[in-house]
Amino acid sequence: MPDDNSHTSSRRQILTGVAAAGLVTAAGASRSRAAEMAAPTPALVDPENAYPRPPFPQQSQPWPGLAGKMTPRPDHGETSYRGSGRLAGRKALITGGDSGIGRAAAIAYAREGADVAIAYLPAEEPDAREVIALIRAAGRKAVALPGDLRNRKYCDTLVQRAHRELGGLDILVSNAGRQRHQDSILDISDEQFDETFRTNIYALFYLSKAAIPLMPRGGAIIATASVNAFSPSEILLDYSATKGAIVAFVKSLAKQMVHRGIRVNAVAPGPFWTALQVSGGQTEENIHNFGAETPMGRAGQPVELAPVYVLLAASEASYITGQVYGAAGGTGVG
């Protein structure tokens, strides 16, 4: 593979050599500094073959599942995500920040310079500890706030504690979700229906209500919807209904929030390799072939969504509100 850095590095060597000889001009010195500050050219990635393809090994875990027990382990950007100060000084709360898509957002936000609070279920402490360590390794403040989002009181105290312990709240990522497959509406218990709505849509309502009065102009709310909002799976009836509700909620709230200076957007992922899928979210057969139905023929890895969550939180996205961003391996849905 050709060395894409060859031009930059040879130029840097030349400039350094000139400086060492004491022959450098003021203009030359500033060019030298610019060359040294330039980031290395990122390698080109072949999207079709960048990550594991199905078949995946058969596996299932009791809900809510742990990313640390999945085979292969999902890639949340632990070793690959590079920040560039796009969220420097921001304070972010991410629900479901222990694993999957929320973990990828947490790692990216910290490496972009944000302090991050993560919310998760107490049973997910092993995953959460890894994320807390990664946020701290990025030199940022990390706050762990376990609890159950089906409980309205927890939603309120979660936002208040994040605000207090981070010293502000600029970004709310309402990402936690519940997904249980059932072949028929006749198999969906009233309890399941209620829990799916509580986790996926009621919590978004409660968290937004608690956070908005605390958020400054320039703040951002980001919800995680799904391709199921637009092309609902027949085995995910209750889940798909909540995801459709999230899309409508975000589009309406975005209009309301324009004059408060808060942007509101959603992300609509296709099939991503996460604990939600292997802990009752999909049939075992669907896990085995997970992502095969997409034109790319593979599942997404959580790290592949990190740039979308960063963009929607960053100030450069000042004209982006009320939008739904898809990432679905070529299906074009979302």
Instruction: Report how far residue 287's alpha carbon sits from residue 283's, in angstroms, rounded to the nearest whole number.
Output: 6
State which amino acid sits at residue 283: T
Contact 94, 69 (CB under 8 A): no
The correct pick among 222, 257, 262, 276 for binding ligand NAD (CB under 6 A) is 276
Exactly one of 87, 93, 101, 143 binds ligand NAD (CB under 6 A); that residue is 101
Tokens of 69: 């027990």
Of 109, 197, 249, 272, the one binding ligand NAD (CB under 6 A) is: 272
Interface region with Mg ion, contact rule CB under 5 A, candidates 83-91, 183-191, 228-236, 271-279: 271-279
Residue 239 falls in the annotated catalytic set: yes
Active-site entry in 51, 120, 154, 239: 239
Which three-class secondary structure state does DSSP give residue 310? helix
- The answer to whether the beta carbons of residues 112 and 140 sit under 8 Å apart is no
Is 269 a binder of ligand NAD (CB under 6 A)? Answer: yes
Helices (H), the chain: 6-20, 26-37, 100-111, 125-137, 152-166, 190-197, 203-211, 237-257, 275-276, 284-288, 306-313
Residue of 95, 99, 179, 321 interacting with Mg ion (CB under 5 A) = 99
What track of x and - describes contact with ligand NAD for positions 141 through 160 (by CB under 6 A)? Answer: -------xxx----------
Least separation in angstroms between CB 213 and ligand NAD: 22
Binding status of residue 124 toward Mg ion by CB under 5 A: yes
Nearest to 273 by CA among 99, 97, 64: 99
Structure tokens at 298: 């593979």
Cα gap 114→112, rounded to integer Å: 6
Q: How many residues bind ligand NAD (CB under 6 A)?
A: 29
Q: Is residue 96 involved in binding ligand NAD (CB under 6 A)?
A: yes
Question: Which chain residues interact with ligand NAD by CB under 6 A?
Answer: 64-65, 96, 98-102, 120-121, 124, 148-150, 175-179, 199, 224, 226, 269, 271-272, 274-277
Active-site residues: which are they? 239
Binding site for Mg ion (CB under 5 A): 98-99, 124, 275
